[in-house]
Amino acid sequence: MTEQNRNKRELETRAVAARPTKWAPAQLLPDPTPEAGYAYRWIRVSTMNADDPRNISSKLREGWEPVKASDHPEVQLFGETNGRFPDSICVGGLLLCKTPAEFIEQRAAYFNQQAESQMASVDNSYMRESDPRMPLFKERSTKVTFGKGI
């Protein structure tokens, strides 16, 4: 008679008490809410409580600007908002900064051009020693081959 008041076991679910399916380590630095047209980056301000003015000043000259704590309240909980950058977000000697996405694309294009010119210089220096009777091998592609097995 007491069984009539009980729910059947199949009707009960454990979805509420279910654990996450896969463990992942906690993020050391929180991600700000993305803003269209801007890229975010954590920039080193100090290492082991020793200031690094050279790094932060070079990044500020490149176009990175500190993010205001009032603009991202979700990240503000994790960082300290007082100190050398009172209206900004600092976490463990890193300062949250942003820059327009166009600057990131221009920077990547600049460094790609630098790398290409360096490779061309190395190739020219290497091929200068080439002799037509025995030319040096020059190929810039790679191939993956599979053996037949033994």
Summarised one tens digit per residue, pLDDT across range 14-63 is: 665 666 678 888 788 888 888 899 999 999 998 888 888 899 999 999 99
Cβ–Cβ < 8 Å for 45, 51: yes
Q: Which amino acid is at 114?
A: Q
pLDDT confidence of residue 91: 85
pTM over 0.85: no
Question: Helix, strand, or coil here: 136?
Answer: coil
Q: Residue 4 above 90 pLDDT?
A: no
| pLDDT, greater one: 65 or 72 | 65
pLDDT confidence of residue 139: 61
Summarised one tens digit per residue, pLDDT across range 75-116 is: 766 556 556 777 888 888 899 999 999 999 999 999 999 999
Q: Residue 70 above 90 pLDDT?
A: no
